[in-house]
Amino acid sequence: MAKTFQLNILAPDKAFFSGEAEQIVFDTPKGRIGLMADHMAMLASVAEGLLEICVDGKWQTAAVGQGFAEVGSGVADLFVDTVEWAEDIDIVRARQALERASERMGSDISHTEFLRSQAAMSRALARLRAAGGDK
């Protein structure tokens, strides 16, 4: 049996996951990172994208928003602004959100609205990747 560590994933609206995990892989602003048991202590930014969790030898996928990860002795805590399992994602709604964000970015909008649209587009793309709807 693979070595495990305590994984806690929290969003403002829910405690998403709490349990033993063998590995996790997630996006950072500088690329993907993977963690296993006995990983060195660290803090890392979490970027919008995929979160993959290995529990009992089975991989599960979720879409996550921005946040940070704190890794300590035998525990990893991820604090993210949004998170949902791939199978719970409504692909049609995610595609519609992507279209709306794309349309807003193509119009004459303020810098703040441009950044909001860019963030909405990133969230929609992450959700589509997680759900397999980006094909």
For residues 46-73, average pLDDT: 95
To the nearest whole number, what is the mean pLDDT of the chain? 92
Specify the pLDDT at position 85.
95
User: How deeply is 80 buried, as exposed, middle or buried, from its count of CB atoms within 10 A (0-12, 13-18, 19+)?
Assistant: buried
| Local structure of residue 56 (DSSP, 8 states) | T
CA separation, residue 64 to residues 27, 74, 108 (Å) = 9, 22, 29
Question: Of the given ranges (111-115, 124-128, 130-134), which has the lowest mean pLDDT?
Answer: 130-134
Over residues 8-56, the pLDDT tens digits come to 999 999 999 999 999 999 999 999 999 999 999 999 999 999 999 999 9
Tell me, yes or no, if the pTM score tops 0.75: yes
CA separation, residue 102 to residues 13, 46, 79, 82 (Å) = 27, 23, 28, 20
Domains and CATH numbers, the chain: 5-86 (2.60.15.10), 90-131 (1.20.5.440)
